Structure 1
Amino acid sequence: MSDALRLPNRWLSLAVLALTQLVVVLDATIVTIALPDAQAELGLSDLERQWVVTAYVLVFGALLLLGGRIADYWGRKRAFLVGLLGFGIASALGGLAQNGTELVIARGLQGLFAALLAPAALALLTVTFASGRDRNTAFAVFGIIGGSGAAVGLILGGVLTEFTSWRWCLLVNVVFVILGFIGGILYLRESRAEGENRLDIWGAITVTLGLGSLVYGFSLAEDGWGSANTIGFLALGAGLLVLFVVIESRVAQPLLPLRVVANRVRGGAFLMQAVVGSVLIGATLYLTFHFQIVLGMRPLMAGLANVAMTIVILLVVPFLTKLLPTVGPRPLLIAGPLVGAAGLWYLSGITPGGNYFTEVLPGLVLLGIGLSMLFVTLQNLALTGVAPHDAGAASATVNAALQIGGSIGVSVFTAIYAGVEQRSLETGTDMLAAFTDGYSAVFIAAAIAMVAASVIAVIFIRGSKSDLLPQNEHPVAVHLG
Structure 2
Amino acid sequence: MVRSTSDGAPMGRRTLALWTILAAQLMLQMDFLIVIVALPQIQQDLGFDPLALSWVPNAFGLAFGGLLLLGGRLGDILGQVRAFRTGLIIFVLASLLGGLAQTPTILVAARVVQGIGAALAGPSVLALVMVLARNDAERAKGMSLFIAVSSVGASAGLILGGLLTQFLSWRWSLLINVPVGAVVIFMIGRLVTETRPRRSRLDVVGAITATLGSVALVYGFISAAESGWLDVTTLSAFALALALFVLFFRTEKKHAAPLLHLDLLRDRGRVGALGVMALIVGMHFSVVFLLVQYLQQVLGWTPLFSGLAYLPLTATVFIISHFVPRLMNVFGAQALLVTGSLLVATSLVGFALLGDRSDYFPAVLVPLLIHAAGIGLVFAPGTVAIMHGVPEEHAGTASGLLQMDQQIGGALGIAVITSIYAFGAVPGQFGSGLPAAFIGAAVIALFAAILAMRTVSRRLQAQNSTAGIHPAS
TM-score (norm 2): 0.86
Cα distance in 2 for residues equivalent to 1:71 and 1:106? 23
Partner of 2:240: 236
Partner of 2:286: 282
Would you say 1:169 and 2:173 are equivalent positions? Answer: yes
Matches of residues 97-116 of structure 1 in structure 2 within 5 Å? 97-116=101-120
Deviation, structure 1 residue 180: 3.9
CA contact (8 A) 2:100 2:171 kept: yes
Residue 437 (structure 1) aligned to one of 408, 426, 432:
432
Cα distance in 2 for residues equivalent to 1:405 and 1:204? 17
Deviation, structure 1 residue 382: 3.2
Deviation, structure 1 residue 365: 0.8
Would you say 1:121 and 2:125 are equivalent positions? Answer: yes
Q: For residues 78 and 271 of structure 1, do their structure 2 counterparts lie closer, same or farther at Cα, with a shift above 3 Å needed?
A: farther
How many equivalent residue pairs?
463
Residue 201 (structure 1) aligned to one of 186, 201, 204:
204
Cα distance in 2 for residues equivalent to 1:383 and 1:75? 25
CA contact (8 A) 2:94 2:114 kept: yes
Q: For residues 439 and 355 of structure 1, do their structure 2 counterparts lie closer, same or farther at Cα, with a shift above 3 Å needed?
A: same
Q: For residues 15 and 388 of structure 1, do their structure 2 counterparts lie closer, same or farther at Cα, with a shift above 3 Å needed?
A: farther
CA contact (8 A) 1:329 1:468 kept: no
Cα distance in 2 for residues equivalent to 1:335 and 1:232? 38
Structure 1 counterpart of 2:353, one-letter code:
G
CA contact (8 A) 1:123 1:395 kept: no
Cα distance in 2 for residues equivalent to 1:447 and 1:129? 44
Q: Which whole-Å deviations, capped at 9, do the CAs of 1:382-441 have from their partners, x for residues lacking one?
A: 34554555444333322221121122112111111110114xx7xxxxx53xx3231222
CA contact (8 A) 1:283 1:413 kept: no
Cα distance in 2 for residues equivalent to 1:378 and 1:192? 33
Cα distance in 2 for residues equivalent to 1:411 and 1:418? 11
Moved more, 259-268 or 352-361: 259-268
Q: For residues 11 and 407 of structure 1, do their structure 2 counterparts lie closer, same or farther at Cα, with a shift above 3 Å needed?
A: same
Moved more, 213-222 or 181-190: 181-190
Partner of 1:306: 310
Would you say 1:342 and 2:346 are equivalent positions? Answer: yes
Moved more, 458-467 or 338-347: 458-467
Q: For residues 6 and 231 of structure 1, do their structure 2 counterparts lie closer, same or farther at Cα, with a shift above 3 Å needed?
A: farther
Would you say 1:371 and 2:375 are equivalent positions? Answer: yes
CA contact (8 A) 1:80 1:121 kept: yes
Deviation, structure 1 residue 276: 3.0
Q: For residues 130 and 354 of structure 1, do their structure 2 counterparts lie closer, same or farther at Cα, with a shift above 3 Å needed?
A: farther
Cα distance in 1 for residues equivalent to 2:140 and 2:245? 34
Q: For residues 128 and 339 of structure 1, do their structure 2 counterparts lie closer, same or farther at Cα, with a shift above 3 Å needed?
A: farther
Deviation, structure 1 residue 18: 4.1
Deviation, structure 1 residue 244: 1.5
Would you say 1:82 and 2:77 are equivalent positions? Answer: no
CA contact (8 A) 2:37 2:292 kept: yes
Partner of 2:448: 453
- What's the % identity of the aligned pairs? 37
Moved more, 125-134 or 22-31: 125-134
Partner of 2:155: 151
Deviation, structure 1 residue 277: 2.9
Q: Which whole-Å deviations, capped at 9, do the CAs of 1:313-346 have from their partners, x for residues lacking one?
A: 2333233356555655333323222222222221
Cα distance in 1 for residues equivalent to 2:53 and 2:467? 47
Partner of 2:471: none
Q: For residues 151 and 467 of structure 1, do their structure 2 counterparts lie closer, same or farther at Cα, with a shift above 3 Å needed?
A: closer
Matches of residues 37-436 of structure 1 in structure 2 within 5 Å? 37-124=41-128, 142=146, 144-181=148-185, 184-185=188-189, 196-222=199-225, 223-321=227-325, 323-324=327-328, 328-387=332-391, 389-422=393-426, 431-432=428-429, 435-436=430-431
Partner of 1:428: none
Classify the secondary structure of the residue corresponding to 1:462.
coil
Cα distance in 2 for residues equivalent to 1:376 and 1:129? 25
Deviation, structure 1 residue 170: 0.6
Q: Which whole-Å deviations, capped at 9, do the CAs of 1:285-312 have from their partners, x for residues lacking one?
A: 1101111111111111211222221221
Classify the secondary structure of the residue corresponding to 1:53.
helix
Classify the secondary structure of the residue corresponding to 1:46.
coil
TM-score (norm 1): 0.85
CA contact (8 A) 2:66 2:207 kept: no
CA contact (8 A) 2:386 2:402 kept: yes
CA contact (8 A) 1:310 1:368 kept: yes
Moved more, 350-359 or 265-274: 265-274
Q: Which whole-Å deviations, capped at 9, do the CAs of 1:167-219 have from their partners, x for residues lacking one?
A: 1111112243245445644665755786x511123323322332222222122
CA contact (8 A) 1:333 1:454 kept: yes
Deviation, structure 1 residue 144: 4.9
Q: For residues 53 and 149 of structure 1, do their structure 2 counterparts lie closer, same or farther at Cα, with a shift above 3 Å needed?
A: same
Cα distance in 1 for residues equivalent to 2:211 and 2:77? 19
Q: For residues 53 and 372 of structure 1, do their structure 2 counterparts lie closer, same or farther at Cα, with a shift above 3 Å needed?
A: same
Q: For residues 130 and 273 of structure 1, do their structure 2 counterparts lie closer, same or farther at Cα, with a shift above 3 Å needed?
A: farther
Deviation, structure 1 residue 117: 2.0
Stretches of structure 1 that go unaligned for 5 or more consecutive residues are: 426-430, 474-481
Q: CA RMSD in A?
A: 3.3
Structure 1 counterpart of 2:367, one-letter code:
G
Cα distance in 2 for residues equivalent to 1:130 and 1:439? 52
Stretches of structure 2 that go unaligned for 5 or more consecutive residues are: 469-473
